[in-house]
């Protein structure tokens, strides 16, 4: 308890400097926590355990090239296949471009089977109404709540890709385990096929649900081998690999985030080292008195190191609190144009990383000035008395 009292008294010797240092550390740690949480959230889409038995089949030349829908008919006949569904990204604009959300032209009869883990709760009667209505659509509950849609409402989407505007009637909503999965809207592929001449018999990609995860590698090899010499060859990959392809369109986001994180940690180290060096220089005489009273160099070093670590932990804890409060804002802002971030949170792994990093910064920034202070001869420190 006496040691703790000494540490706190030393830390509060210059309250203004301590408060400013803690605040600068807090802002830096909050930035690191948010950046690392963004990276964690994006990476989680490429490591989704629920996608272990799903395969995405696309054109080998480019993700924008179309595949013949007859490819899906052949795939359905293969052993180990539970369901196959054609899916086309529509990129429809609702009212204005700021209202971005994923919307797809879908072979709707297979939707709840292929994406069973994502569409976990829906009304059977609503889904039957959706299937009967050629102009019907189904949307995630979170998306419907965001725009105030009710079953029976008309939703108009003007595509940025296709020369068509569709007027859809909301026939049902569904619930998912993750908020990001409730941001999608699906309507009937036939509506797009009939409205755009070059889409007749074509689809953007084909989603395959294998009966068992162990069937996936064999199906991928069999599908690509069968269509290797076709006019429209395929590239088949797991859903996680397919999601990674989309994320890579943003560039090497991982290296960018890690570079910013490293720069911020270096800045934290410099700020803390400067603060502790100033504090220790001001107490040269005090340290000499402690040693003259019988404190060993190791005890004094421990007190100074504890002070630096405590300063860093206070700033780090406050920063993590700020990051936690910012999580909702990130979901509301960044999640609007990047639906992946609807699942944004500050996970435990990031919390532990930031705490360990701040403790490490406290140790590194304090050790050199503290060690020098304890190695200085006692007589030199007492000359100022």
227 and 271 fall within a common domain = no
The range of the structural domain enclosing residue 280 comes to 2-45+251-382
In the prediction, which pLDDT does 86 show?
Answer: 93
User: Given 165, 197, 231, which residue is the final one in a domain?
Assistant: 231
221 and 257 fall within a common domain = no
- The answer to whether 171 touches 138, Cβ cutoff 8 Å, is yes
How many CA atoms within 13 Å lie on the side-chain side of 266?
Answer: 6
The answer, as to whether pTM is greater than 0.85, is: no
162 and 36 fall within a common domain = no
- The answer to whether 158 touches 93, Cβ cutoff 8 Å, is yes
Please return the burial class of 306, using the count of CB atoms within 10 Å of its CB with bins 0-12, 13-18 and 19+.
buried
Pairing of strands 205-210, 81-89: antiparallel
The answer to the question of residue 60 being in a domain is no
Extract the runs of DSSP E, i.e. beta strands, from 129-257: 136-140, 154-159, 165-175, 185-188, 202-203, 205-210, 234-238
Greatest pairwise CA separation for the chain in angstroms: 94
197 and 133 fall within a common domain = yes
- Rounded Cα distance between 359 and 351, Å, is 12
- The answer to whether 365 touches 273, Cβ cutoff 8 Å, is yes
Query: Distance of CA 320 to CAs 33, 316, 353, 364, Å?
Result: 7, 6, 11, 21
- Rounded Cα distance between 29 and 323, Å, is 8
List Cβ neighbours of 129 (8 Å cut-off, separation of 6 or more). 136, 171, 172
The answer to the question of residue 239 being in a domain is no
112 and 217 fall within a common domain = yes
183 and 91 fall within a common domain = yes
183 and 288 fall within a common domain = no
Distance spanning both ends of the chain, measured CA to CA: 28
- Give the dihedral sign, CA 7/8/12/17: positive
The answer to the question of residue 58 being in a domain is no
**E strand or H helix at 67:** strand 67-68
70 and 39 fall within a common domain = no
220 and 87 fall within a common domain = yes
Low-confidence residues in the chain, pLDDT < 70: 1-12, 14, 46, 247-251, 282-288, 290-291, 294, 334-340, 377-385
- The answer to whether 141 touches 182, Cβ cutoff 8 Å, is yes
The answer to the question of residue 15 being in a domain is yes
Domain count, the chain: 2
The answer to the question of residue 53 being in a domain is no
Among candidates 361, 274, 281, which has minimal Cα distance to 21?
A: 274
155 and 290 fall within a common domain = no
- The answer to whether 311 touches 275, Cβ cutoff 8 Å, is yes
216 and 325 fall within a common domain = no
In the prediction, which pLDDT does 338 show?
Answer: 67
In the prediction, which pLDDT does 1 show?
Answer: 45
82 and 10 fall within a common domain = no
- Rounded Cα distance between 277 and 273, Å, is 6
In the prediction, which pLDDT does 131 show?
Answer: 94
The helix/strand/coil state of 108 is: helix
The answer to the question of residue 153 being in a domain is yes
The answer to the question of residue 95 being in a domain is yes
Q: Which residue has the tokens 């304090």?
A: 366
List Cβ neighbours of 62 (8 Å cut-off, separation of 6 or more). none
The answer to the question of residue 57 being in a domain is no
């Amino acid at each position: 308890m006496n040691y703790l009292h000494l540490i706190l008294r030393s830390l509060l010797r210059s309250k203004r400097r301590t408060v400013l240092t803690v605040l600068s550390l807090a802002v830096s740690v909050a930035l690191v926590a948010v950046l690392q949480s963004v990276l964690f959230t994006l990476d989680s889409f490429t490591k989704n355990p629920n996608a272990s038995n799903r395969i995405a089949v696309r054109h080998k030349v480019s993700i924008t090239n179309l595949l013949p829908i007859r490819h899906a008919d052949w795939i359905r006949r293969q052993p180990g296949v539970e369901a196959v569904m054609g899916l086309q990204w529509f990129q429809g604009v609702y009212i204005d471009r700021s209202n971005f959300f994923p919307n797809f032209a879908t072979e709707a009869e297979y939707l709840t089977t292929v994406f069973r883990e994502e569409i976990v709760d829906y009304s059977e009667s609503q889904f039957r109404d959706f299937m009967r209505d050629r102009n019907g659509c189904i949307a995630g509950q979170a998306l419907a709540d965001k725009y105030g849609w009710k079953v029976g409402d008309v939703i108009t989407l003007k595509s940025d890709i296709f020369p068509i505007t569709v007027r859809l009637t909301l026939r049902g909503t569904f619930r998912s385990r993750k908020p990001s999965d409730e941001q999608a809207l699906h309507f009937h592929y036939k509506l797009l096929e009939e409205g755009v001449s070059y889409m007749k018999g074509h689809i953007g990609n084909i989603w395959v649900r294998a009966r068992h995860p162990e069937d996936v590698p064999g199906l991928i090899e069999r599908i690509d081998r069968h269509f290797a010499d076709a006019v429209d060859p395929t590239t088949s990959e797991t859903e996680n690999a397919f999601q990674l392809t989309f994320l890579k369109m943003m560039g090497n986001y991982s290296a960018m985030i890690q570079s910013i994180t490293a720069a911020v940690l270096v800045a934290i180290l410099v700020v803390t080292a400067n603060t502790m060096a100033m504090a220790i220089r001001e107490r040269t005489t005090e340290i000499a008195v402690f040693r003259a009273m019988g404190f060993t160099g190791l005890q004094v070093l421990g007190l100074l190191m504890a002070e630096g670590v405590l300063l860093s932990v206070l700033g780090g804890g406050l920063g993590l609190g700020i990051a936690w409060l910012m999580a909702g804002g990130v979901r509301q802002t960044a999640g609007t144009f990047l639906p992946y971030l609807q699942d944004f949170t500050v996970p435990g792994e990031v919390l532990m990383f930031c705490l360990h990093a701040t403790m490490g910064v406290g140790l590194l920034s304090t050790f050199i000035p503290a060690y020098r202070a304890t190695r200085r001869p006692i007589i030199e420190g007492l000359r100022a008395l």
